[in-house]
Chain A
Amino acid sequence: MRVAVVPPPTVASPQPRIKRRRGHGEAGAAWAYVSPAALIILGLGILPMAWSLVLSMQSSDLITPPQWIGLKNYEVISQDPSFRAAVVHTLVYTALFVPLAIAAGLGLALLLNREIRFIGFYRTLVFVPFVVSATAQGVLFSFIFDSHFGLANAILHRLHIPTQGFFADEHQALYLLVLIALWSGVGFCVVVYLAGLQDISKDLIEAAAIDGAGRVATFRHIIWPALRPVTVFLVVWETLQALQVFDMVFVTTRGGPLESTTVVVFFVWQQAFEVFNAGYAAAAAYVLAFGLLVLSIGIRFAQRRDDKEVSRS
């Protein structure tokens, strides 16, 4: 009975006071905490973005005073065959790289998600290429795929397969870039998928086994749905990365041979620093940025609708 005597207001009354004090004192502290990050984002993110938006509406070479030309750069770019080619190359690269990286990543992750001897070693081996910088990879592979003196053709020759042009063949260079990107990019997908796989409760899998589900059925009804969020993340992430590919192109092909590997970001670099069309380059960069934005928003929406459907069912 004594317990009931304890007056509720003593518990309730300090709360608003604390809240008020919090609201007052914490805002300042909170701003103090976030301001370094906010300043960095503002200075290194937002400002350059705003500046390049302005630049994209100018005729500028970064050397002489710029001229305001409104949307002229965007008009020109919509009819520029070189830019269109760059967009096509980028889309082909992305359309090949993303599904292949994810499929291979999933396959390898399933293989590596078991308890056998030296599993840590195998997992490390798969991940190591991801750690190698794109520049180093580019240099390495441009030697391997040299059309006359490379290792790849030496092996093909041994196997009595006709030798290939590789980076000297404009019909092969882009696909070769996809292959090299896969070599390193798959490791990342494997690691993310492995984490996803280890999150799946063992009980579920055991229950499925007891219910008589085979390997395929377990994968289809348990593992794949459980990996869905991970897969969505990988699709978004890898697509954004692939659409912005640059360093490997710069090191291995410089957009060649015969402009068969000029991707959008390389086109931007070329316009800005080789032919002094910085305004035009900024416009091209903004077209890419806009594409990325639309893509991200689209995926967000699709995901949200998806979540609703899942929760409804």
Chain B
Amino acid sequence: MGPLLSACGSDSDTGESADGTVTITMWHGQADEAKATIDKIVTAFQAKYPKIKVDASSGGVLADSMLQKITTALSSGHYPDIAYIFGPDIANVARSPKVANLQPYVTKPEVKWDDFYPAAREAVTVDGKVRGFPALVDNLCVAYNKKVFREAGVPEPTGDWTWDDFVALAKRLTDPAKGRFGTGWPAVGDEDCVWRIYPMIWDLGGSIVDDSGKKIGFDNDSGLKALQIIHQLGADKSVYADTKPGSETMYQIFNSGKMAMVATGPWELPAFVDAKTEYGVVPLPSFSGKRMTIAGPDTWTVFDNGSAKIKAAVQFLQFLTDAEQDVQWATQAGSLPLRKSTAESAEWKQHVSSTVGLDVFSDALQYAKTRPTVRAYPRISQPLGQAIVKMLLNKDTPETALQEVARAANAALVTG
């Protein structure tokens, strides 16, 4: 209750108290290392700007449940100034009139907005308006278990490969007698299941929503071919379909040497190192030969509790994402740089060279694409997730599964 009270009590319309100090509340939804890093940065900010008091807490939930938390907070009228919102959710949260429009702030030169990676900038922009700051970027590449390849006598992937190569390799490395899988895929039907298909769709010329905004953009060969690839993995029984929420079993299986390859983000690398897995990282396969992956950026969404608070929040986020702090956040919290200048810093380069595979993820930021920030997105993701699960469990044909996605998602897009 503490942060809520301080967020809504005492202040005038602008959110500034009589002595000129502004208190801003932040729900970061982080734990462990990431929380410690934020706390450290907050302390440093506090020392530099004593007029702004930052009340940073997890918000009582982890980032996974922040959407539910913020939805109820918004409907009750007591909400923080900054919250950690997942990229796919910001479009829906931004429908609230209580979400601040940061457009006038980010054009200022000291913010160095263009220094953020394009994927990160797009992720916080809804209908042309900036609604927050980038909080984290990651992307998908393929991690492979070197020991599994060695034991199977199969040469390691070089990154110069197609999805058909991937399917064939997964099949070759599958060994039911040893309980070994070629690859794994989350099969709950949630976002972690769904976002892994988009690089294929984009590479084949498809899109999530077409230009009219009223139809999905993969109800064509791109969606069909992508589903066929997953269907083939399911039919070959070369994929471990993780039906448990959280996808943790999938990574455990990879670490225990029972899975050859898995598409994953940089967040998983510390766990690989801890488990002493001999791993390598290569970019995602493609169809066309050009590089493609998906960035899953998260956001520091800013809420409107008066202009003074918005201004203070922007000042804090500018500090938090500034190269000097960004490099701490990226190295200690296990993510990637948000800014190009961070990526070029000596400290980051040193960190990259000490973590196997991180360079591949870091390079992938150059070509990673993001999901569109559209409101109907959850109602596209849900039927698509079900279609992917059907492929993984080998329950349906790609054709009928795609038809069903198109029917459900198009209906959602038309009604908005």
- Is the beta-carbon distance between A254 and B249 smaller than 8 angstroms? no
Q: Does B96 contact A (CB under 8 A)?
A: yes
* Residue interface mask B381-409, A partner, CB < 8 A = 1: 01000100110010100000000000000
* Residue interface mask A119-157, B partner, CB < 8 A = 1: 000000000000000000000001100111100000000
Q: Kindly list chain A residues whose C-beta atoms are within 8 Å of the C-beta of B393.
A: 168-170, 257-258
- Is the beta-carbon distance between B244 and A63 smaller than 8 angstroms? no
- Is the beta-carbon distance between B179 and A275 smaller than 8 angstroms? no
Q: Kindly list chain B residues whose C-beta atoms are within 8 Å of the C-beta of A168.
A: 187, 241, 243, 393
- Is the beta-carbon distance between A257 and B389 smaller than 8 angstroms? yes
Interface Cβ pair total, 8 Å cutoff: 77
Q: Does A62 contact B (CB under 8 A)?
A: yes
- Is the beta-carbon distance between B92 and A61 smaller than 8 angstroms? yes
Beta-carbon nearest neighbor of B76 in chain A: A62
- Is the beta-carbon distance between A62 and B71 smaller than 8 angstroms? yes
- Is the beta-carbon distance between A253 and B243 smaller than 8 angstroms? yes
> In the complex, how many angstroms separate the beta carbon of A155 from the nearest chain B beta carbon?
15
**How far, in angstroms, from A257 to B378 measured CA to CA in the complex?**
18
Beta-carbon nearest neighbor of B69 in chain A: A273
- Quick one: which of B71, B187, B240 contacts A257, CB cutoff 8 A? B187
Q: Kindly list chain B residues whose C-beta atoms are within 8 Å of the C-beta of A61.
A: 92, 95
**How far, in angstroms, from A169 to B92 measured CA to CA in the complex?**
33
- Quick one: which of A62, A64, A148, A254 contacts B245, CB cutoff 8 A? A254
Q: Kindly list chain A residues whose C-beta atoms are within 8 Å of the C-beta of B190.
A: 254
> In the complex, how many angstroms separate the beta carbon of B296 from the nearest chain A beta carbon?
17
Q: Does B72 contact A (CB under 8 A)?
A: yes
- Is the beta-carbon distance between B243 and A274 smaller than 8 angstroms? no
Chain B, 53-92, CB within 8 A of any chain A CB: 67-68, 71-72, 74-75, 92
**How far, in angstroms, from A42 to B240 measured CA to CA in the complex?**
50
**How far, in angstroms, from A64 to B92 measured CA to CA in the complex?**
10
Beta-carbon nearest neighbor of A277 in chain B: B379
- Is the beta-carbon distance between A251 and B245 smaller than 8 angstroms? yes
* Residue interface mask B232-269, A partner, CB < 8 A = 1: 00000000110111000100010000100000000000
Q: Does A256 contact B (CB under 8 A)?
A: yes
Q: Does B189 contact A (CB under 8 A)?
A: yes
Q: Does A276 contact B (CB under 8 A)?
A: yes
Q: Does B374 contact A (CB under 8 A)?
A: no
> In the complex, how many angstroms separate the beta carbon of B393 from the nearest chain A beta carbon?
6
- Is the beta-carbon distance between A63 and B95 smaller than 8 angstroms? yes
- Is the beta-carbon distance between A63 and B189 smaller than 8 angstroms? no
* Residue interface mask A268-280, B partner, CB < 8 A = 1: 0000011110100
* Residue interface mask B215-247, A partner, CB < 8 A = 1: 000000000000000000000000011011100
Q: Kindly list chain A residues whose C-beta atoms are within 8 Å of the C-beta of B92.
A: 61, 63, 276
**How far, in angstroms, from A62 to B69 measured CA to CA in the complex?**
11
Beta-carbon nearest neighbor of A253 in chain B: B243
Q: Does B188 contact A (CB under 8 A)?
A: yes
Q: Does A267 contact B (CB under 8 A)?
A: no
**How far, in angstroms, from A258 to B97 measured CA to CA in the complex?**
36
**How far, in angstroms, from A165 to B68 measured CA to CA in the complex?**
32
**How far, in angstroms, from A278 to B67 measured CA to CA in the complex?**
14
Q: Does A188 contact B (CB under 8 A)?
A: no
Q: Does A56 contact B (CB under 8 A)?
A: no
Q: Does A252 contact B (CB under 8 A)?
A: yes
Beta-carbon nearest neighbor of A255 in chain B: B189
Beta-carbon nearest neighbor of B256 in chain A: A149
Q: Kindly list chain A residues whose C-beta atoms are within 8 Å of the C-beta of B382.
A: 274-275
B-side interface residues, number (CB < 8 Å)? 33
- Is the beta-carbon distance between B67 and A273 smaller than 8 angstroms? yes
- Is the beta-carbon distance between A149 and B249 smaller than 8 angstroms? yes
- Quick one: which of B74, B188, B379, B390 contacts A62, CB cutoff 8 A? B74
- Is the beta-carbon distance between A142 and B71 smaller than 8 angstroms? no
> In the complex, how many angstroms separate the beta carbon of A270 from the nearest chain B beta carbon?
8
- Is the beta-carbon distance between B179 and A256 smaller than 8 angstroms? no
Q: Kindly list chain A residues whose C-beta atoms are within 8 Å of the C-beta of B72.
A: 62
- Is the beta-carbon distance between B68 and A257 smaller than 8 angstroms? no
Q: Does B93 contact A (CB under 8 A)?
A: yes
Chain A, 147-181, CB within 8 A of any chain B CB: 147-149, 167-170
Q: Kindly list chain B residues whose C-beta atoms are within 8 Å of the C-beta of A258.
A: 189, 386, 389-390, 393, 395
> In the complex, how many angstroms separate the beta carbon of A97 from the nearest chain B beta carbon?
22
* Residue interface mask A231-271, B partner, CB < 8 A = 1: 00000000000000000001111101111000000000000
**How far, in angstroms, from A278 to B96 measured CA to CA in the complex?**
14
**How far, in angstroms, from A61 to B245 measured CA to CA in the complex?**
25
Q: Kindly list chain B residues whose C-beta atoms are within 8 Å of the C-beta of A252.
A: 244-245
Beta-carbon nearest neighbor of B385 in chain A: A256
Q: Kindly list chain B residues whose C-beta atoms are within 8 Å of the C-beta of A254.
A: 188-190, 245
Beta-carbon nearest neighbor of A165 in chain B: B393
Beta-carbon nearest neighbor of B191 in chain A: A274
**How far, in angstroms, from A254 to B378 measured CA to CA in the complex?**
15
> In the complex, how many angstroms separate the beta carbon of A173 from the nearest chain B beta carbon?
8
Q: Kindly list chain B residues whose C-beta atoms are within 8 Å of the C-beta of A167.
A: 243-244
Q: Kindly list chain B residues whose C-beta atoms are within 8 Å of the C-beta of A257.
A: 187, 189, 243, 389, 393
Chain A, 5-38, CB within 8 A of any chain B CB: none
- Quick one: which of B75, B241, B378 contacts A275, CB cutoff 8 A? B378
**How far, in angstroms, from A251 to B245 measured CA to CA in the complex?**
7
Q: Kindly list chain A residues whose C-beta atoms are within 8 Å of the C-beta of B386.
A: 258-259
> In the complex, how many angstroms separate the beta carbon of B197 from the nearest chain A beta carbon?
17
Beta-carbon nearest neighbor of B75 in chain A: A62
- Is the beta-carbon distance between B187 and A63 smaller than 8 angstroms? no
Q: Kindly list chain B residues whose C-beta atoms are within 8 Å of the C-beta of A259.
A: 386
Q: Kindly list chain B residues whose C-beta atoms are within 8 Å of the C-beta of A275.
A: 378-379, 382
Selected A-B contacts with CB under 8 Å, 26 pairs: A62-B71, A62-B72, A62-B74, A63-B74, A63-B93, A63-B96, A64-B95, A64-B96, A143-B249, A146-B249, A148-B179, A148-B253, A149-B179, A149-B258, A168-B241, A253-B188, A254-B189, A256-B389, A257-B243, A257-B393, A258-B189, A258-B386, A258-B393, A258-B395, A273-B67, A276-B92
Given contacts A148-B253, A256-B389, 15 further A-B contacts (CB under 8 A): A61-B92, A62-B74, A63-B75, A148-B179, A252-B244, A253-B243, A257-B243, A257-B389, A258-B189, A258-B386, A258-B395, A273-B67, A276-B71, A276-B92, A276-B378
Q: Tell me the B residues contacting A by CB distance below 8 Å.
A: 67-68, 71-72, 74-75, 92-93, 95-97, 179, 181, 187-190, 240-241, 243-245, 249, 253, 258, 378-379, 382, 386, 389-390, 393, 395
Kindly list the 9 A-B residue pairs having the minimum CB-CB distance in the complex, ordered from nearest.
A62-B75, A63-B96, A273-B68, A168-B243, A142-B244, A254-B188, A275-B378, A167-B243, A62-B71
